[in-house]
Chains A and B, each alone.
With several copies, the nearest count.
Chain A
Amino acid sequence: MTVAARMPDEAAHRVDVRIQAHDFDSAAEIAALTAGRADIGAVVTFTGLCRDEGGRLAALELEHYPGMAERAIRAIATEAVARFSLQGILAIHRHGKIAPGGNIVLVVAAAPHRQAAFDGAAFLMDYLKTDAPFWKKEHLKDGGTGEWVSAKDADDAAKARWTSAQ
């Protein structure tokens, strides 16, 4: 098989994962995922933002395990593509200090129909929450350094629904 012959198929099931400190542009990412294609019927995006927790937080600081972070998210994204027959998926996760209102994570899932796109994005987020090596530490408005954010049982439960539904 020539490279040229492989191209369309690879493009049709694109998995794009990026771990970065800088911000992302949701619109540009959606456009890049759908550009030049007329077979995509549904695009679902999830954007996770930093909340100020009622005015208490000055920032969240996201620590990560560089090599593993990309590897873990890529594995989840690749499974999402196979499981929901996605036409493309993108995940961008930021690290470093992020102020309230700032972007933390972006997921974009494309599919011919809406259910697959919704499921693909939700599946990736549920697994990312519990399996991607990132940790959040609170920086408080009063100048102090707060606690490390605790993992939530609700996140484990959200992930579990994808195995019980099988």
Chain B
Amino acid sequence: MSVRLVYFAWVRERIGKGSEEIDLPPEVKTVGELIAHLATLGEEYEAALQVPGVIRAALDEEHADHDEPIGGAREIALFPPMTGG
């Protein structure tokens, strides 16, 4: 399954791009498993995702915990804790 990944703030800076399409390996079922999978894709991903606990995620623009199933989400966002307001 192909999904669109979008990155923000220092996650984006460290990975070196704002978005990409990837094919999800069949064993990646949850947000946490996706983060663990991405961290194996190279140094830049490792640098961005080295502390998985601080990474926040959204599935199709809705906040999602790490144990949440990705299901049929088309766009998955990964980013640091938010600092708006």
Contact = CB atoms under 8 A, between A and B. Distances in A.
Interface of A: 48, 62-65, 67-69, 71-72, 93, 104-105, 114, 125, 128-137, 148-151
B84 A136 contact: yes
Contacts of B77: 65, 68, 133
7 contacts: A63-B12, A65-B58, A68-B61, A114-B85, A129-B84, A129-B85, A132-B82
**Chain B interface residue number, banded:** 10 to 19
A7 to B, nearest CB: 29
Contacts, number: 74
A115 B61 CA distance: 29
Contacts of B83: 129, 134-136, 148-151
Contacts of A128: 84-85
Contacts of A68: 58, 61-62, 77
Contacts of B81: 130, 150-151
